[in-house]
């Protein structure tokens, strides 16, 4: 990793997510909100849901598309999933990481995922899926950080 400082806007987005989840009274409300966030995220077309974009090892289908804007040195993500919770988790990651420099994404702590209190309530499969999603996004960011 490059030890790049995190983007101010990435930190601000993460703190905004933390504030939103802090206002929810219990884990049921957090899950409802998570599902709602996933439902708001644009869906991928069937053509975009290919073997090349599918995250391997996920119990449910999860697809990640990454576009690199070399002129601005930022990554853009589009993610979709067949599972509502996974789609919501993806929406949170996209919300915080989309449009950020690859080096900052590769080094991002993503501690907001623990702070919002969901990780402790996820099933083992969903926890593994979230970890796989984060690892894949970081790997792509590291690739583009090396290329730039």
Q: What are the catalytic residues?
A: 58
Output the six-digit token pair for 27.
């884990």
Q: Give the residue from 47, 36, 124 showing the smallest Cα distance to 84.
A: 36
d(CA 1, CA 130): 20
Two tokens at 65? 């598309």
End-to-end CA, the chain: 14
């Amino acid at each position: 990793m490059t030890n790049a400082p995190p983007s101010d806007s990435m930190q601000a987005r993460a703190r905004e997510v933390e504030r939103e989840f802090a206002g929810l009274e219990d884990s049921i409300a957090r899950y409802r909100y998570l599902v709602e966030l996933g439902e708001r995220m644009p869906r991928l077309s069937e053509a975009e849901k290919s073997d090349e974009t599918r995250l391997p090892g996920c119990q449910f289908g999860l697809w990640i598309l990454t576009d690199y804007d070399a002129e601005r040195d930022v990554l853009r993500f589009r993610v979709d999933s067949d599972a509502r919770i996974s789609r919501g988790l993806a929406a949170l990651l996209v919300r915080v990481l989309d449009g950020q420099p690859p080096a900052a994404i590769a080094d991002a702590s993503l501690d907001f995922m623990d702070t919002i209190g969901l990780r402790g309530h996820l099933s083992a499969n969903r926890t593994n899926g979230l970890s796989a999603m984060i690892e894949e996004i970081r790997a792509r960011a590291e690739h583009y950080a090396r290329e730039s």
